[in-house]
A and B are shown apart, each in its own frame.
Chain A
């Protein structure tokens, strides 16, 4: 899952980015609205965490610019917590709203909730075949038995299960699993697919030659 954090306050952006990375998201960051809008328009993020009060271009303008072209979920982050500000944010097309100062746990929970809703899942636990994923607890189970996975393996499984019954291209996987600073080579994808197949069986992830990978629900 790839996230864009647009926040002008360095310390805050840093801690939000670090937290989301620890939650096994691929996180990109922008220090101002203009750069944020550019990134949001040019990459397919799973969610944009957007501050309102920013130099160059404020959150509302970024949101308006983004909504003209894309339906990327947006979580507004702001120091304004008057009801009218919240209403304005939601009416501008934001998916959720969080007032500063916030709890990191709440931020993560909301980010997950927004992404889940966009994927059509309302429950954090989804079962595909005999594999069950819990995005909140970040666990993968084969039947009843919990299986140890690394953060990257989990992220890939989550992505594939979210797009179950769809062919997921290697580019898509690469875009959503690695952030802009990641130096990983694209053949790292093959490693993660191999590891997941080792742990959950060969039939969990199928390869469509020349197209990509697919996880089938039945």
Chain B
């Protein structure tokens, strides 16, 4: 008995469950991964959209384009309104009357950022030199460092997940580095809930598989129980017992048939044996009776030497008769066991059979 139980049922059951568990785990893991990817793709699309909206507002600012967003330190960006004021002043200075197109862009940008903030999306903007020019109110502190993604020619877009936030980093020579990000917490929460659900489902499938497997294995092992039961009864001495065969086509049905044939032969040979023994003992009885009664007769009282001689002679004759019998029986048993072969041929029966009364 090793780690695995000897029972065939349990062995099959264990391997089957192991296989089932591996397959289920792999499938569920793939599903989970797929869900995660889909969620991230959706998020990325959500984050990519604002970039296309923001970019026109940030492009081409020949002279100090991010007027109000030039900040000495990132933590001063706490209040977006404060941020705006210097911009307005600068704008006001540049075009005191009427809305300056830059000013309009600025307002537009603010609206977009506000709208984005409502959806939990934050925006950073760095100049090409790595100077933080703009940061949304809801942006996490830890991310206000330059991502070091700069593009000198053409736009470069990259995605990364940092400290639980998903960011799309858009770097272009024109705009500098624009980062749009959002927390992945809702996704992770969703995914962890999904994970719990999937584990539950997997467990249920495995339990169901176990039950179905138990039933199926039980059904297919039933003939084995029948075989072992019949073999038990035969071992107890009931030689006429046979296995009840159900379904000749199955391997076990065929095995049962073979076993039944074997039992049949066994019973026949056992009957042979019994009959042979009975016949042999029957044949022996008469000579034994002669020897026994003749010697008892001779010993019952004092007799003449002739009587004793006669008695002894009878005993010798009977013993020799028994000797002939035993060698005959031995030959007979040889014939039965197949050691001895008959040689059929033509003979004249009169010459072979001496005389029959």
Task: Give Cα A35–Cα B293 distance, bound, in whole angstroms.
Answer: 24
Within the complex, the shortest CB–CB distance from B216 to chain A, in Å, comes to: 51
B286 touches A104 (CB 8 A): no
Within the complex, the shortest CB–CB distance from B338 to chain A, in Å, comes to: 29
Task: Give Cα A107–Cα B296 distance, bound, in whole angstroms.
Answer: 12
Q: Which residue of A lies closest to B292 (CB)?
A: A101
Interface presence of B285 (CB below 8 A)? yes
Residues of A close to B318: CB separation below 8 A: 11
Total CB contacts across the A-B interface at under 8 A: 55
If A11-B317, A11-B318, A103-B292 touch, whether A18 touches B297 (CB-CB below 8 Å) is: yes
B289 touches A100 (CB 8 A): yes
Task: Give Cα A40–Cα B285 distance, bound, in whole angstroms.
Answer: 26
Q: Mark A139-160, 1 if CB is under 8 A from B, else 0.
A: 0000000000000000000000
Task: Give Cα A113–Cα B318 distance, bound, in whole angstroms.
Answer: 30
A15 touches B314 (CB 8 A): yes
Interface presence of B357 (CB below 8 A)? yes
Interface presence of A102 (CB below 8 A)? yes
Q: Mark A70-111, 1 if CB is under 8 A from B, else 0.
A: 000000000110000000000000000001111111010000
Residues of B within 8 A of A (CB): 282, 285-286, 288-294, 296-297, 300-301, 314, 317-318, 357
Number of A residues near B (Cβ < 8 Å) is: 20
Interface presence of A9 (CB below 8 A)? yes
Interface presence of A201 (CB below 8 A)? no
Residues of B close to A103: CB separation below 8 A: 292-293, 296
Residues of B close to A14: CB separation below 8 A: 314
A15 touches B290 (CB 8 A): yes
Give the dominant DSSP class at B's interface.
helix
Within the complex, the shortest CB–CB distance from A2 to chain B, in Å, comes to: 20
Task: Give Cα A55–Cα B357 distance, bound, in whole angstroms.
Answer: 10
Task: Give Cα A100–Cα B284 distance, bound, in whole angstroms.
Answer: 10
24 example contacts (A-B, Cβ-Cβ < 8 A) are as follows A9-B290, A11-B290, A12-B289, A12-B293, A18-B297, A19-B293, A19-B297, A19-B300, A22-B300, A22-B301, A55-B357, A79-B289, A99-B285, A100-B286, A100-B288, A101-B285, A101-B288, A102-B289, A102-B293, A103-B293, A103-B296, A104-B292, A104-B293, A104-B297
Interface presence of A3 (CB below 8 A)? no
- B289 is contacted by which of A18, A80, A101, A105 (Cβ under 8 Å)? A101
Residues of B close to A105: CB separation below 8 A: 296
Task: Give Cα A9–Cα B294 distance, bound, in whole angstroms.
Answer: 13
Q: Which residue of B lies closest to A55 (CB)?
A: B357
Interface presence of A16 (CB below 8 A)? yes
Task: Give Cα A15–Cα B297 distance, bound, in whole angstroms.
Answer: 7
If A11-B314, A11-B317 touch, whether A79 touches B282 (CB-CB below 8 Å) is: yes
A11 touches B292 (CB 8 A): no
A101 touches B293 (CB 8 A): yes
Task: Give Cα A107–Cα B289 distance, bound, in whole angstroms.
Answer: 12
Residues of A close to B317: CB separation below 8 A: 11
B282 touches A80 (CB 8 A): yes
Q: Which residue of A lies closest to B282 (CB)?
A: A79
Residues of B close to A11: CB separation below 8 A: 290, 294, 314, 317-318
B292 touches A79 (CB 8 A): no
Question: Which of B289, B291, B314 has the most CB atoms of chain A within a 10 A radius of its CB?
Answer: B289
If A11-B317, A55-B357, A104-B300 touch, whether A79 touches B285 (CB-CB below 8 Å) is: yes
Question: Ordered nearest first, which 5 A-B pairs have the shortest CB separation?
Answer: A101-B289, A79-B285, A100-B289, A101-B288, A100-B285
Task: Give Cα A105–Cα B317 distance, bound, in whole angstroms.
Answer: 23
Q: Which residue of A lies closest to B311 (CB)?
A: A15
Residues of A close to B292: CB separation below 8 A: 101-104
Residues of A close to B294: CB separation below 8 A: 11, 15
Residues of A close to B282: CB separation below 8 A: 79-80
Residues of B close to A80: CB separation below 8 A: 282
Interface residues of A in 1-50 (CB under 8 A from B): 9, 11-12, 14-16, 18-19, 22
Residues of A close to B300: CB separation below 8 A: 19, 22, 104
20 more CB-based (< 8 A) A-B contacts, given A9-B290, A12-B289, A101-B292: A11-B294, A11-B318, A12-B286, A12-B293, A14-B314, A15-B294, A15-B297, A15-B314, A16-B293, A22-B301, A79-B286, A80-B282, A100-B286, A101-B285, A101-B291, A101-B293, A102-B292, A103-B296, A104-B300, A107-B293
